[in-house]
Structure 1
Amino acid sequence: MQHDPVTARDPRMLHPDWKPEDTLIALLARNAREHPDRVALRERDHGIWQQTTWAEYLDEVLSLAAGFEAEGIGPGDIVLVTGDNRARLYAATLGLIALRAVPSPAYSDARPEELLDQMTREGIRAAVVEDQEQVDKLESVRDRRPELARILYDDPRGLGDKAPAGASALSDLLARGRARLKAEPGLRDDLVSRASVFDIAVLLHSSGTTGAPKGIPLRHGHVLSGVRNAAAAGYFREGEEHMAYLPMAWVGDFSFSIAAAIELKFTVNVPENQETALHDLREIAPTLYFASPRAWSAMLTRVQVGIAETSGLKRKLYDHFMPFALKLEREKLEGRSPSALQKLWRGVGDAVIYGPLRDQLGLRRVARPYTAGEAIGEDVFLYFRALGLNLRQFYGQTENCALAVAQSSEDISLTTVGRPFPGVEAKIDESGEILLKGGNIFDGYFENEKATAESLRDGWLCTGDAGQFDADGQLVVLGRLSEVMHKADGTRFIPTYLENRLKFAPAIRDVCVIGKERGFLSAIVCIDFSAVGQWAQERGIPYTSYAELSQRPEVVDLVRGEIARLNAAVPAELSIDRFVNLHKEFDPDDGEVTRTRKLKRGVIDARYGQIIEAVYEARDEIEYEAQITYETGETGVLTRTLKIGDLKGGQH
């Protein structure tokens, strides 16, 4: 077995029940053998859906593997993979896995410096990318990473004869691989059988909220355990129609679009691009659909805007049937069953409002809709359940393949995330931390013994999340344990708990709650430009930019109202007394949030320290000099007047 960058122990000792031949590649070959003509992949290209069967999928994977091997890529080599969802990038990922090489995905919008850091940390010498944009990013840092010898791209537009040295098309490598398979009769079976269940299938990464992202290696056995546990809980079904639109660098995409898709023979549908994803969703009509709370909220906003612009009769029907359905859903959560008349009227509503809306959103066939990543707003959660979707929450991290705990159809709650899947154990330790154990739990971080020792204790994963079990035995997630803070008077608070509740409001895209060692809590708010812009337009409120809109008195009052609603729902000592609307959104390119939009508090505290001090000095506004970077790379300064809102009348 090649050098294992995770643990000095042989993984066979850690997982004695795993079968060596139980791999993603072997399962892909099984699908090709047993269901050669069933559709495995669909990809929309220039408006036309192109289909790939399981037999064709396996052929492409093995041809790419043969081509990669001819390029010198082999066991243990870590290869960067970056770009938007593309069928060939999935095939290339599996081709690397077949060689026992390790794909290391990066977010498609990662900056060149981020890619350079990842390649340097992991000793990366080759990259598989989507298009010219990604090639250009790598080329811009290549002088600092001369070890990057090969760049293989899927989309040749803009490249062709202009491709830099060492860069070539995946299609050319595919052709060479096919020729190799034809010339070497035993190679195909050899490639299918090389991987072991103990091999690392993918090297994913933590969000990096407090420093450099940590590498999270997941073995074949980990991801297959996670998928099988989820299937045993009814979370996945065989033959699902799935839409692959989540970032390929996110654990959920690997678990859904590759591992679960192969194990359970999903048909994976790849949209043409991110801009057409909502349109493509309606054509796909998936049976399984995951979206973040932020995405569900945006979908609700889109519906509300559409209803506001529709005809009078449709609006009247909507205004009657939606409140009725929401009332029924609340009664269900309280344990009350609908009457026969309510069921009949619900059926009428499904015919005239709920069903057509689900169809318009592309969700008419979704039987298993899910949300995770952060808390979802009560109004958003109830709305989609009232619409007839069995929306459920789940809980997981990259370290457990994102598949650990979920609500069942019978255990719907607004405050919990459900129960552990079969094969997963959960407990709360003396400090209030959630601990998990199971075959889906990773073995340790990439070449980071210290972080591994902190996260794994006696086989238990220390999630870093504070939690508790409710009276019914369901898990309640309170927030990050590391983010438990105290005000100057010793009052304990978890910023993420308050932030997530504030982000339920359509007007608020991001928020950072401040208050550690302070006399009261405050907030830096980033408005949702789209939602607030629509709101302002309906009221005839003029604006020319995000910065101007955020400081309009009406918008400051709008945000004040949202914070007041939060304050009414939490203990008085956790109320937010003052706030400021920032002149811009938090930006991952500025290092303020991660690519998954988790706050980097240290960066925010340092960058906006002047604003924070003004909030605590009881000032009404601040003249803030904002650093800006132009497209040319040159920097400048713009002075912004930021209004500071107060909810306590200045009494602190």
Structure 2
Amino acid sequence: MSEITVPALATAPQVGGLADAVFEGADQQPGRVQLGRKAGDRWEDVTTAQFRDQVMALAKGLLAQGIRFGDPVAIMSRTRYEWTLFDFALWTIGARPVPVYPTSSSEQLAWILHDTRAMGCVLEDDDHAMTLAAVIDRVPWLTRVWQLDAGAVEHLVADGERVADSVVHRHRLAIKPDAVATVIYTSGTTGRPRGCVLTHSNFMAECDNLIARWRSLFEPSDGDQPSTLLFLPLAHVFGRMVEVAAVRAGARLAHQPEMAVAALLPDLRSFRPTFVLAVPYVFEKIFNAARAKAEEEGNLAVFDRAADIAVRFAEAREREALGLGPGPGTALRMQHLLFDRLVFSKIREAMGGRVRNAVSGGSTMGRRLGLFFDGAGVTIYEGYGLTESSAAATANPPGRVRFGTVGTPVPGVSLRLTDDGEILLRGDTVFSGYLNDTEGSAESLRGGWLHTGDLGSMDEVGYLTITGRKKEIIVTRSGKSLSPALLEDRVREHPLVEQCIVVGNDRPYVAALVTLDHDATGHWLKLRGKPKLTPRELVRDPELEAEIRRGVSAANTLVSTAESVRNFRILPGTFTEEAGLVTPSRKLRRAVVESAYAEEIEALYAH
């Protein structure tokens, strides 16, 4: 059993809560820009004083409408400015915001409202109002409903005009660090979501230690105020951590409701953040879009050569930083400088032009992709964490990134690997348990450690690599055990592949289902002069099948013959969050996918 502890760099406050940062920031630097708010095609600055006043006005409105200390209030919305406003207003009066994914079904919403006994619910639009209407009779204790697109903020502010500021401050000053800040429901890959109870102290310990360790992200550079565009779902703990950390660090925070590259890139270019935090899917899409554009312009050979140089350059810098060898030689530096002008600068410009650092989490990112971006001038710090650990539990440290790993424990976290490779965590960021689930809490928090259910390996200097999940280990009929994640991640590196699920439990051999990237396949057809095909026609195209076979063959080189994918099928559809097949961070809901595609899986073993 191996174990490593990284001492905390920041001590959690002994008094107060998350909203104090809003009021203290306004008192200390009232004119500093705190947020950017989209207004048409431009971004309006919101100072710390303005944001404090907005939080105060909304908090008074919530009190006027009956929300009290400790009351749960659900928020069902995409990522937008008003969510952050509601979060801090609710925290100001000691209430508990409960995030709900905007794609949730009526049954999922009803479960969260029932489990938390939420007194109020913030909805974004008419679609969400209809989702709630379908189950409203099952939650009679829900007494307040507000809709953002119907003027919720304005109505609440008007109602709160008669409430004195002193009443709000009495609530705020009564909040203690161990008070519940939020209940975040795990999106889960199996079973019914469970509510993770996270305190103000959990988030303060998480964010303050991240800020202290990764100062390169949160400190001004070349006169630019640190800034980030938040496009992760605020219903996810990763997005919530970004929101809190930005406010506590004094970084300028803006919101974008879509992770789709077509919607995201224009806002990256206009807002021009200095750092971004995303799931690997976003970085994959940015890379694939850049490569597709180069191919369309007849510059694919140049792009691929640049990609190779970027990877080699980053590998040399990695060896140098880790003390394992020399840095890039003169010839490599000259080639890198050439391709920086031709290729890398364009990729940075597509991300806004000022991004030099990024953080990736939520799922595993391929080593080569991380090396490419580092060689292109954007260092991605990959990390690992759970809702139960208030987001990041490990991350690659500044100046010593080991690509393909999720780094070392963040300050204040202890990490232990059991003999079978399960990752255990301990620290001030670890949650206190699941709401209304004493048995599940006791099972997860055994012996003072959070048992994550994730499997990993640790190298000689303490860098963690995620190898899979205990419940996802495949055992073939011959008794061969394997974790499917390694194969799936490698197949997904093919630019035409969006998702891959490896199957084979109690089967004679390993097989896979593959879904296609819609944008990439459209580009592929166009360049080959092929007519537009229906999804069912496309998956039968022999050239396309040969392309995907190459991706599968590349993945098979990573494992033994007994562990390799022997058969695969390309699906005409995709695994979507709306269908419940993937989580918002793009993790496969394995059991749900296998059930939905049971016939296709049987067909893989029919001969």
Q: TM exceeds 0.5?
A: yes
Cα distance in structure 2, aligned partners of 1:319 and 1:435: 40
Aligned residue number for residue 346 of structure 1? 336
The answer as to 2:469 corresponding to 1:484 is: no
Which one has a bigger Cα radius of gyration? Answer: 1
Cα 1:345–1:564 shift into 2, 3 Å: closer
In the TM superposition, what is the alpha-carbon distance from 1:366 to its structure 2 partner? 1.9
Cα distance in structure 1, aligned partners of 2:570 and 2:27: 58
Amino acid at match of 1:252: F
Query: In 1, are the aligned partners of 2:318 and 2:400 still within 8 Å (CA)?
Result: no
Aligned residue number for residue 295 of structure 1? 282
The one-character-per-residue Cα deviations of 1:323-380 (angstroms, maximum 9, x if unpaired) are 4333322333453312345435534443443223311332x32232121222222332
Cα distance in structure 2, aligned partners of 1:228 and 1:493: 38
Cα distance in structure 1, aligned partners of 2:294 and 2:36: 32
Cα distance in structure 2, aligned partners of 1:273 and 1:409: 29
Cα distance in structure 2, aligned partners of 1:319 and 1:606: 39
Aligned residue number for residue 108 of structure 1? 102
The one-character-per-residue Cα deviations of 1:526-567 (angstroms, maximum 9, x if unpaired) are 111221221122112334322322232222222111111111
Aligned residue number for residue 175 of structure 2? 195
Aligned residue number for residue 556 of structure 2? 567
Query: In 2, are the aligned partners of 1:89 and 1:130 still within 8 Å (CA)?
Result: no
Aligned residue number for residue 265 of structure 1? 250
Cα 1:215–1:185 shift into 2, 3 Å: closer
Aligned residue number for residue 404 of structure 1? 393
Aligned residue number for residue 266 of structure 2? 279
Q: 2:119 aligns with which of 109, 114, 125?
A: 125
In the TM superposition, what is the alpha-carbon distance from 1:155 to its structure 2 partner? 1.8
Query: In 2, are the aligned partners of 1:523 and 1:579 still within 8 Å (CA)?
Result: yes
Q: Secondary structure at the match of 2:587?
A: coil
In the TM superposition, what is the alpha-carbon distance from 1:224 to its structure 2 partner? 0.8
Aligned residue number for residue 4 of structure 2? none
Cα 1:268–1:352 shift into 2, 3 Å: same
Aligned residue number for residue 154 of structure 2? 171
Unaligned runs of 5+ in 1: 1-16, 157-167, 619-652
Query: In 2, are the aligned partners of 1:404 and 1:424 still within 8 Å (CA)?
Result: yes
In the TM superposition, what is the alpha-carbon distance from 1:436 to its structure 2 partner? 1.1
The answer as to 2:584 corresponding to 1:613 is: no
Moved more, 515-524 or 539-548: 539-548
Amino acid at match of 1:429: T
Amino acid at match of 1:180: R
Cα 1:468–1:321 shift into 2, 3 Å: closer
TM-score, scaled to structure 1: 0.85
Query: In 2, are the aligned partners of 1:47 and 1:272 still within 8 Å (CA)?
Result: no
Cα 1:474–1:323 shift into 2, 3 Å: closer
Query: In 1, are the aligned partners of 2:92 and 2:168 still within 8 Å (CA)?
Result: no
Cα distance in structure 1, aligned partners of 2:564 and 2:380: 30
The answer as to 2:567 corresponding to 1:584 is: no
The answer as to 2:54 corresponding to 1:60 is: yes
In the TM superposition, what is the alpha-carbon distance from 1:614 to its structure 2 partner? 2.0
Cα 1:46–1:415 shift into 2, 3 Å: closer
Following superposition of structure 1 onto structure 2, how do residues 369-384 of structure 1 map, counting pairs within 5 Å? 369-384=358-373
Q: Secondary structure at the match of 1:584?
A: coil
Aligned residue number for residue 505 of structure 1? 494
Aligned residue number for residue 14 of structure 1? none
Q: Secondary structure at the match of 1:336?
A: coil
The one-character-per-residue Cα deviations of 1:550-609 (angstroms, maximum 9, x if unpaired) are 232222222111111111222222100011112211233333333333323333333322
In the TM superposition, what is the alpha-carbon distance from 1:59 to its structure 2 partner? 1.4
Aligned residue number for residue 237 of structure 1? 218
Following superposition of structure 1 onto structure 2, how do residues 39-438 of structure 1 map, counting pairs within 5 Å? 39-156=33-150, 169-177=152-160, 179-181=161-163, 184=164, 186-234=166-214, 236-238=217-219, 240-257=226-243, 259-271=244-256, 276-310=263-297, 318=303, 321-334=306-319, 335-362=325-352, 364-438=353-427
Cα distance in structure 2, aligned partners of 1:47 and 1:152: 27
Cα distance in structure 2, aligned partners of 1:321 and 1:532: 23
In the TM superposition, what is the alpha-carbon distance from 1:212 to its structure 2 partner? 0.6
Unaligned runs of 5+ in 2: 1-10, 220-224, 320-324
Aligned residue number for residue 648 of structure 1? none
Query: In 2, are the aligned partners of 1:240 and 1:288 still within 8 Å (CA)?
Result: yes
Amino acid at match of 1:385: D
Cα distance in structure 2, aligned partners of 1:220 and 1:185: 22
Aligned residue number for residue 10 of structure 1? none
Cα distance in structure 2, aligned partners of 1:278 and 1:557: 32
Cα distance in structure 2, aligned partners of 1:392 and 1:532: 30
Cα 1:469–1:353 shift into 2, 3 Å: same
In the TM superposition, what is the alpha-carbon distance from 1:205 to its structure 2 partner? 1.4
In the TM superposition, what is the alpha-carbon distance from 1:110 to its structure 2 partner? 1.8
TM-score, scaled to structure 2: 0.91
Cα distance in structure 2, aligned partners of 1:469 and 1:435: 13
Cα distance in structure 1, aligned partners of 2:49 and 2:250: 12
Query: In 2, are the aligned partners of 1:301 and 1:531 still within 8 Å (CA)?
Result: yes
Moved more, 295-304 or 202-211: 202-211
Amino acid at match of 1:246: L
Cα distance in structure 1, aligned partners of 2:88 and 2:576: 32
The one-character-per-residue Cα deviations of 1:367-397 (angstroms, maximum 9, x if unpaired) are 3212122222233222211211112211111
Query: In 2, are the aligned partners of 1:203 and 1:217 still within 8 Å (CA)?
Result: yes
Cα distance in structure 2, aligned partners of 1:283 and 1:144: 44
Query: In 2, are the aligned partners of 1:418 and 1:475 still within 8 Å (CA)?
Result: yes
Moved more, 375-384 or 23-32: 375-384
Cα distance in structure 2, aligned partners of 1:107 and 1:141: 16
Query: In 2, are the aligned partners of 1:20 and 1:197 still within 8 Å (CA)?
Result: yes
Cα 1:101–1:492 shift into 2, 3 Å: same
In the TM superposition, what is the alpha-carbon distance from 1:433 to its structure 2 partner? 0.7
Cα distance in structure 2, aligned partners of 1:273 and 1:231: 26
Cα 1:194–1:56 shift into 2, 3 Å: farther
Percentage of matched positions with identical amino acids:
29
User: RMSD between aligned alpha carbons?
Assistant: 2.2
Cα 1:531–1:345 shift into 2, 3 Å: closer
The answer as to 2:587 corresponding to 1:598 is: yes
Cα distance in structure 2, aligned partners of 1:596 and 1:610: 27
The one-character-per-residue Cα deviations of 1:198-227 (angstroms, maximum 9, x if unpaired) are 111121111222211010121110011011
Query: In 2, are the aligned partners of 1:44 and 1:272 still within 8 Å (CA)?
Result: no
